[in-house]
Amino acid sequence: MTTPSEIGEFLRSRRARLSPETAGIDPGGTGRRVPGLRREELAKLAGISADYYVRLEQGRNRTVSEEVLDAVAAALRLDGAEREYLFRIARPARRRDGAPVEPPQRVREGLYRLLETVDDVAPALILGRRTDVLAANVLARALLVDWEALPRRDRNVARFVFLDGYARSLLGNWDEVAWITVTALRLEAGRHPGDPLLTDLIGELSVKSEDFGRLWAGHEVANFTGGLRVYRHPVVGEITLPCESLTFPTDPDQTLCIHTVPPGSPAADSLRLLANWATRPGGLAPAR
């Protein structure tokens, strides 16, 4: 279940980042005791009463309308991912007593073949809920970590990024990857507020990683679709790869993450070298 504190913390964090000047409000001179907008200023921008907004921020209004949430999102200048998160935590889906727990995710046979098709040219993996790694081709296992060799609970990007020391030496832009990972988990928490495994994961990371706790406290939400990854690999050295993230329409809880590079580029040469290393006798085992 989403707690009132989560709603309040998120809304307060969004108010704090929005200055009166940016919102078109006269700051009224010096002496402001809070960063960003006051509650009553945000309520005025959204066209609702200050008392109504206070009850929303305190999690005391569980029947808030879509029109009010739209107005608050617009006043706070939320992007698409943040707006989706606000709607989900403000109006969480009710879980029926006795409703079955979500079954383990399965990857379709055709998607396994898709990963195998690009085995020697593009690292590719499929992520599920909670950033679980559901499948990975040979190049992805050679570039990051051999997911198949890990215990099943450790086949998780968030655990790898924050709890595996190797990730910090491998990822040249670790800070950026860590931020993206946390924002993805925050979005997951909005989509699946009743997921006990997600709750356990967030709790574990909060206890074991100060960096995770600091980033989680920022209440940032984002929907990653693409960017660059910098790797400092022990076999091929430093390599920068574009990353594309595609969600499947038939299963929005599964995402294909793939690195693509121009043929003949230095990065393509490095990937070819890595593929040769990974598939040599005694190298990585087949992904399935």
pLDDT tens for 107-125 read 999 999 999 999 889 999 9
Quote the pLDDT of residue 287.
40
Quick one: 4-90 is in which CATH superfamily? lambda repressor-like DNA-binding domains (1.10.260.40)
DSSP string, the chain: ---HHHHHHHHHHHHHTS-HHHHT----SS---SSS--HHHHHHHHTS-HHHHHHHHTT--TT--HHHHHHHHHHTT--HHHHHHHHHHHSPPPPPTTPPPPPPP---HHHHHHHHHTTTT--EEEE-GGGBEEEE-HHHHHHT--GGGS-GGG-BHHHHHHH-HHHHHHBTTHHHHHHHHHHHHHHHHHH-TT-HHHHHHHHHHHHH-HHHHHHHTTT------EEEEEEEETTTEEEEEEEEEEEETTEEEEEEEEE---TTSHHHHHHHHHHHHHTSTTSPPP--
Domain positions in the chain: 4-90, 109-278
Question: What radius of gyration, in Å, describes the C-alpha atoms of the chain?
Answer: 22
Quote the pLDDT of residue 4.
62
Quote the pLDDT of residue 2.
53
Q: Is pLDDT at 288 greater than 70 in this prediction?
A: no
User: Which pTM was predicted?
Assistant: 0.79
Quote the pLDDT of residue 25.
80
Most confident of 50-64, 69-83, 132-146: 132-146
CATH 3.40.640.10 fits domain 109-278: no
pLDDT category of residue 236 using cuts at 50, 70 and 90: very high
pLDDT tens for 173-191 read 999 999 999 999 999 988 8
